Each structure stands twice: as C-alpha cells, then as structure tokens.
Amino acid sequence: MHEYNTLLTWILYAATAVGAGGFYFNLLPLQIAGGLVIGIHFYIAIFQTVAITREIRAAKRAGLLEFKGDKHSFANPLCYYVAKY
C-alpha cells in the first residue's frame, strides 16, 4: 500500500498562486519563491517516487492495482493497493 501525500498537492496549488500573484503584481520575490517551491515539489514528486511508480505500473499491467480515497482529502487520502496472490 502506498498513501498519496495530499499535503504536496496543496503546497503545489499555493506555490502556483504565489508565483501567479508575483507575475500579476510584478513582484520578483514572489515569482522566485513560487518557482523554487514548485521546483522542490517536482523533485520530491518525481525523483523520490520512481520505485513506487515502477511497482504501480507493473501492478496495473498485471491487473492487481486498486485505488481508494481522494487526492485532495486529508481525511481520506488516495491510497494505492497492490493485491498479492
């Protein structure tokens, strides 16, 4: 089982809003802060989950993957279950 980190999704939304606000109001520090947080998010989301992604892909091909929950919910986070036979 792997539980999706809902907090990362909301951090990405906030960073996007901060960066967009920086462009709208022409404030360079907000643009940089938004860009840095988005870059850190992508590092965590992509490079740190490579092994999990491989396992999920293999389980999906074998038809052994189940999803439960919602990726935007803290109370019921998205979970991936790989059935083992």
Residues 36-72 have pLDDT tens digits of: 999 998 888 888 778 788 888 888 899 999 989 998 9
Range of the domain at 30: 2-82
Would you state the pLDDT for residue 61? 92
Distance of CA 59 to the CA centre of its chain: 20
CB atoms within 10 A of CB 72: 13
List, for residues 12-28, the tens digit of each pLDDT value. Answer: 999 999 999 999 999 99
Count how many domains the chain has: 1
Q: Is it the case that residue 85 has pLDDT exceeding 70?
A: no
Distance of CA 27 to the CA centre of its chain: 27
